[in-house]
Amino acid sequence: MLSYDLMQPTLDFDPFEATIHTVREAICSRKVTCRQITEAFLARIVAINPIINAVICLNPKVLEEADAIDDALADGHNPGALVGVPVLLKDNFNTINMKTTGGCRALKDLQASDDAKVVKLLKNAGAVILGKANMHEMALEGLSVSSLGGQTLNPYDLTRTPGGSSGGSGAAVAASLCVFATGTDTVNSLRSPASANRY
């Protein structure tokens, strides 16, 4: 599920540690293409994710979606506030082209019939959905370990917790596997990863 036959592209713009604004500006100014940015993040995920286990699956249509954004820009269409910005979704956000499992092996084949409202808004703003981030199974605790995705590790110290339940999202952002990621919070599911996954 995490295999793309890609080499890390050489770009005039460094997308890692970049902000939403600088990525959007680089794409809109045609310094780089959306596809180049997307390929750079996919290659980084393929290289780094086996160490920290933050990403549970990749969007099988992500390169097609990046190409569509480049085509729209070339045709002069309004790019949207998040055009070309790579994002990972916590695996409890419904998507029509990826399973939504909550990290639970028993739900590994669960396919939503529609995108969640947040996902629709992200897509309408031009964001590129790279894939899904691991999470603590069913968001029930704060360690980010799941029966489907295994244990997510803190990218700054593999012996420390990444927090949870949005620990996959927090670890992915900290490791520059995406520009930003979504999370959900019942008790401490956002604040814990934000605090834990820092240098």
List residues with catalytic annotation. 90, 165, 189
Question: In which element (H, E) is residue 168 found?
Answer: helix 167-174
Short-list 167, 175, 176, CA closest to 194: 167
Short-list 70, 68, 2, 60, CA closest to 34: 70
The DSSP string of 101-147 is: -TT-GGGTT---SS--HHHHHHHHTT-EEEEEE--SGGG-SSS-EET
User: What's the DSSP call for residue 51?
Assistant: H
